[in-house]
Structure 1
Amino acid sequence: MKHTFEWKGIDHVQLAAPPGCEVEARRFFGELLGMTEVPKPEKLQVRGGAWFQCGPQMIHVGVENSFQPAKKAHPAFLVHHIERLMEHLQEHGVAYRIDDEIPGVIRFFAEDPFGNRLEFMEVK
């Protein structure tokens, strides 16, 4: 079957967080990880949360009243100079777990302040 549509990529990944998460989300994704906050459209601001630019994609931290952290599903961030990121996280007390199961890929897992699983990787 021939399709008449075309995939362009992923615009954003949404991570859930509890109500009142904005300050901690800005500290972690903005200050610690260095992502630029993107203003939410005015009509969506009442929902809370925060959006961050991550390369050409975005991370949307959205408020979920009955929040439960994602322990399996996760975004995987591509990083240049991943060792520097690891040092930076260690200096700021962010725990992570190195995983060497994929040949040619340096990667590790950490959690955001809300307990969501995050993967960081660099292809060597």
Structure 2
Amino acid sequence: MSFSLDHVQLVVPPGGIEQAARFYGEVVGLERIERPATLGGVGAWFRAGPQELHVSEHDGFVAAVKAHPAFKLSAADLEALGARVKAVGAEVRWDYRLPRARRFYSFDPAGNRLEFLTRD
């Protein structure tokens, strides 16, 4: 059997999708892709390499403070992203505990935990 990860779903509170879309598109730099209208509801989809990030509004929203997606990028891109995230006032917490990796944690505007890393 062969399989891979297709997408990760994150939720934001009602009314939070445009702020999330700006963060993931303009700050993180993900490409926004079309979300099928047949799905209904409110959401935004993004391409993250061969995988996708799906963000939608949810009435019972609770921020994911431990569970999180981890985005892998080059060392140069990681540094630049850390600067962009910090420039918009979001927390950038560098973590050096993972061997052969450089990473930081942050939170999207809704409070969902995110990891960004590069590996040796």
**Cα offset, 1:92, TM superposition:** 2.5
Q: How many residues align?
A: 118
Say which of 29, 36, 39 aligns to 2:34.
39
**Cα offset, 1:90, TM superposition:** 2.1
Separation in 2, partners of 1:115, 1:88 = 17
Separation in 2, partners of 1:24, 1:10 = 26
**Cα offset, 1:91, TM superposition:** 2.5
Q: CA RMSD in A?
A: 1.1
List aligned pairs for 1:44-83, cutoff 5 A: 44=39, 46-80=40-74, 81=76, 82-83=78-79
Structure 1: gaps (5+ residues) = none
Separation in 2, partners of 1:38, 1:85 = 20
**Residues 11-55 of structure 1 deviation map (CA, whole Å, 9 limit, x = unaligned):** 1000011111221012100111111111111211x3101111111
Give TM-score, length-normalised by structure 2: 0.92
Structure 2: gaps (5+ residues) = none
Question: Identity percentage over the alignment?
Answer: 42
Tell me, yes or no, if structure 1 residue 95 matches structure 2 residue 97: no
Q: Which has the larger radius of gyration?
A: 1
Q: Is the 8 A contact 1:22 1:48 kept in 2?
A: yes
